[in-house]
């Protein structure tokens, strides 16, 4: 019997984070890396260290925590990138350098302006250097699916001879279809000497909605590593969705005869965590982790479900970590029950953070009839983002009506107990509150997007607001939740203002404000 284990290489923090609107702070990346460890992924691609100092620091912080999975960083085929990856990942006992260069005719001619032989030479030099630094080296011929098969086999042969231990085949632009990809993998298996001694990997983008199907075709044809992201986030239409590909392999085990080490009960909490961190809601009908994925509306379906769940259900909600009710704790729940639920939801809080979140939970439970998982998630997300000043929102009053302009008065307080109050008038309450915040702090932002989402069900649900603003021509995102949606929006706005002020205090305002500002485009 052949090798039936499929390694899961998660690239949420690299390819996922590269997508517009998905950038994360170092703290957020470390939090997600912990959740990926709990999910039991085999490899975490933590970033692209040469892209920016922020990327480097995040990869290093994740590697230095050394929690189990192989920690990997991405590099172009040049010594500086490779050395930076090595410096960032070497703190982890198990680490990997991932080098890539494009191989398709389109990329050779228009992007790289390099001949076929030059590309092979640069790949071989890069892999050789990476192997001097690290035993575990992955090579990716970018745009492999649009590369001539014979040339692709030549590149992969040279990569293996140079010491690559994993060869990854990317469908960079989401162009291939399952039968064609099957053919490509079988061709490589047949025509590349030594291919059975390395791990063959697949990396699919979702431009035509086939990333999961193409990844599955690749493992049937012999790939033993899948590169994917939580919620399928990534460039353009995203990457292969981790939760979908995992549940396909698990639910159709009798077909694939393959397995992964993923703890599927962590899928739902991890998906919610990532969605909350980047402020990108999961579509209701998203397979596996969408709100409707396990909801049965039609009468005929409900009737069948009552007779036996397998009539209309191919997976159990518990298998993906979805609790039956979502109705969790009440105001009489104790700290222990709260801590346990927080853990089940995929958060790893220290004692101080747990205590602070618990106090907020109690105070919210006094205001709300029912408390749900979404409330706990919102509290933790709030704490994660609003924890550092300089300014805290002490109080706010807002008035608005059909026949009058809206007015907002806010009072902010800093650590030294300095208070500042401002009032502003505008056509709506949110605009008035934002203007008052700007006058109080002296930071002027341009609002680009205001997204509101209900954290749970019920008329007393917390509103989760994500604001996207522009400052110094750079996008920034703030996130907060509160039962009062104007207050939630104001806290989200203040979160961005505080981040900018902190950078100013450190004298970095002109250098970079968000972690990805100086990022080198791949």
Judged by beta carbon distances under 5 to 8 A according to partner kind, the member of ligand KIV, Zn ion, none in contact with residue 140 is ligand KIV
Does residue 250 bind ligand KIV (CB under 6 A)?
no
**H/E run at residue 128:** helix 116-133
Q: Which of helix, strand or coil describes residue 260? A: coil
d(CA 267, CA 157): 36
| CB 317, CB 264: distance < 8 Å | no
Judged by beta carbon distances under 5 to 8 A according to partner kind, the member of ligand KIV, Zn ion, none in contact with residue 55 is none
Binding residue for ligand KIV, selected from 7, 16, 23, 100, defined by CB under 6 A: 100
- Count of residues binding ligand KIV (CB under 6 A)? 9
Judged by beta carbon distances under 5 to 8 A according to partner kind, the member of ligand KIV, Zn ion, none in contact with residue 100 is ligand KIV
- Least distance from C-beta 174 to ligand KIV, angstroms? 9
Q: Which of 34, 450, 453, 457 is nearest to 282 (CA)?
A: 453
- Least distance from C-beta 14 to Zn ion, angstroms? 8
Give the Å distances, CA to CA, from 245 to 15, 231, 235, 251, 381: 17, 11, 18, 10, 27
Give the Å distances, CA to CA, from 475 to 22, 25, 400, 448, 467: 11, 13, 29, 9, 10
User: How many CB atoms sit inside 10 A of residue 310's CB?
Assistant: 10
- Least distance from C-beta 224 to ligand KIV, angstroms? 17
- Least distance from C-beta 404 to ligand KIV, angstroms? 53
Task: Restricting to residues 133-152, name those near ligand KIV by CB under 6 A.
Answer: 140, 142
Binding residue for Zn ion, selected from 7, 8, 12, 15, defined by CB under 5 A: 15
Q: Which of 1, 2, 6 is nearest to 199 (CA)?
A: 6
- Least distance from C-beta 36 to ligand KIV, angstroms? 18
DSSP letter at 67? -
Binding residue for ligand KIV, selected from 15, 55, 154, 431, defined by CB under 6 A: 15
Cβ neighbours for 262, distance < 8 A, ≥ 6 positions apart: 8, 39, 40, 41, 242, 246
**Residue 15 or 373: which CB sits closer to Zn ion?**
15
Judged by beta carbon distances under 5 to 8 A according to partner kind, the member of ligand KIV, Zn ion, none in contact with residue 31 is none
d(CA 160, CA 124): 9
- Count of residues binding Zn ion (CB under 5 A)? 1
Residue in the block written with tokens 């009908």: 285
Task: Restricting to residues 162-191, name those near ligand KIV by CB under 6 A.
Answer: 168, 170, 172
Binding residue for ligand KIV, selected from 7, 84, 96, 203, defined by CB under 6 A: 203
- Least distance from C-beta 172 to ligand KIV, angstroms? 3
SS3 string, 374-399, reads HHHHHHHHHHHHHCCCCCEEEEEEEE
**H/E run at residue 469:** strand 463-471
Judged by beta carbon distances under 5 to 8 A according to partner kind, the member of ligand KIV, Zn ion, none in contact with residue 231 is none
Judged by beta carbon distances under 5 to 8 A according to partner kind, the member of Zn ion, ligand KIV, none in contact with residue 215 is none
**Residue 175 or 361: which CB sits closer to ligand KIV?**
175
d(CA 173, CA 211): 10
Judged by beta carbon distances under 5 to 8 A according to partner kind, the member of ligand KIV, Zn ion, none in contact with residue 7 is none
Across the chain, how many H-helices and E-strands are there?
A: 17, 14
**Residue 72 or 380: which CB sits closer to ligand KIV?**
72
**Residue 140 or 441: which CB sits closer to ligand KIV?**
140
- Least distance from C-beta 235 to Zn ion, angstroms? 6
**H/E run at residue 448:** strand 446-454
Give the Å distances, CA to CA, from 313 to 293, 322, 323, 491: 10, 14, 16, 41
**Residue 157 or 166: which CB sits closer to ligand KIV?**
166
Judged by beta carbon distances under 5 to 8 A according to partner kind, the member of Zn ion, ligand KIV, none in contact with residue 142 is ligand KIV
Considering only the stretches 15-23, 109-117, 326-334, 382-390, report the one whose residues sit in contact with Zn ion under the rule CB under 5 A.
Answer: 15-23
Q: What residue ranges bind ligand KIV (CB under 6 A)?
A: 15, 100, 140, 142, 168, 170, 172, 203, 205
């Amino acid at each position: 019997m052949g090798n039936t284990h499929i390694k899961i290489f998660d690239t949420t923090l690299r390819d996922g984070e590269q997508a517009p609107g998905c950038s994360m702070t170092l703290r957020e990346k470390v939090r997600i890396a912990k959740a990926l460890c709990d999910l039991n992924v085999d490899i975490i691609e933590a970033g692209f260290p040469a892209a920016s100092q922020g990327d480097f620091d995040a990869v290093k912080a994740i590697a230095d925590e050394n929690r189990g999975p192989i920690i990997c960083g991405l590099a172009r085929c040049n010594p500086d990138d490779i050395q930076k990856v090595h410096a960032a990942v070497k703190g982890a006992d198990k680490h990997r350098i991932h080098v890539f260069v494009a191989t398709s005719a389109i990329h050779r001619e228009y992007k790289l302006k390099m001949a076929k032989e030059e590309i092979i030479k640069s790949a071989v030099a890069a892999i050789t250097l990476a192997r001097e630094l690290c035993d575990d080296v992955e090579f990716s011929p970018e745009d492999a699916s649009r590369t001539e098969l014979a040339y692709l086999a030549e590149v992969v042969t040279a990569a293996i001879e140079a010491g690559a231990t994993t060869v990854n085949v990317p469908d960079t632009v989401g162009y291939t279809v399952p039968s064609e990809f099957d053919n490509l993998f079988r061709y490589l298996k047949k025509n590349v000497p030594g291919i059975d001694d390395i791990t063959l990997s697949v990396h699919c983008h979702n431009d035509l909605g086939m990333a999961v199907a193409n990844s599955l075709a690749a493992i049937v044809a012999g790939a033993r590593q899948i590169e994917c992201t939580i919620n399928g986030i990534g460039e353009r239409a995203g990457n292969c969705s981790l939760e979908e590909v995992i549940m396909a392999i698990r639910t159709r085990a009798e077909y694939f005869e393959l397995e992964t080490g993923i703890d599927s009960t962590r899928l739902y909490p991890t998906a919610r965590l990532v969605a909350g961190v980047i402020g990108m809601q999961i579509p209701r009908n998203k397979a596996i982790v969408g709100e409707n994925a396990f909801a049965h509306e039609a009468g005929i379906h409900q009737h069948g479900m009552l007779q036996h769940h397998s009539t209309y259900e191919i997976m159990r909600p518990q298998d993906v970590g979805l609790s039956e009710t979502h109705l969790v704790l009440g105001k009489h729940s104790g700290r222990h029950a709260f801590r346990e639920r927080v853990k089940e939801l995929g958060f790893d809080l220290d004692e101080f953070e747990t205590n602070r979140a618990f106090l907020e939970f109690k105070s919210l439970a006094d205001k709300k009839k029912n408390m749900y998982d979404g409330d706990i998630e919102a509290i933790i997300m709030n704490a994660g983002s609003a924890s550092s000043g300089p300014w805290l929102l002490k109080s706010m009053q807002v008035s608005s009506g059909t026949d009058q302009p809206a007015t907002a008065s806010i009072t902010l307080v800093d650590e030294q107990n300095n208070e500042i109050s401002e009032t502003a008038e505008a056509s709506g309450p949110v605009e008035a509150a934002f203007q008052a915040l700007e006058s109080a702090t002296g930071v002027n932002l341009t609002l680009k997007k205001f997204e509101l989402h209900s954290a749970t069900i019920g008329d007393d649900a917390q509103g989760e607001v994500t604001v996207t603003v522009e400052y110094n021509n750079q996008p920034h995102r703030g996130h907060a939740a509160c039962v009062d949606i104007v207050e939630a929006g104001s806290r989200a706005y203040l979160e961005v203002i505080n981040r900018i002020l902190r950078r100013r205090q450190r004298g970095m305002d002109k250098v970079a404000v968000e972690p990805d500002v100086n990022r080198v485009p791949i």
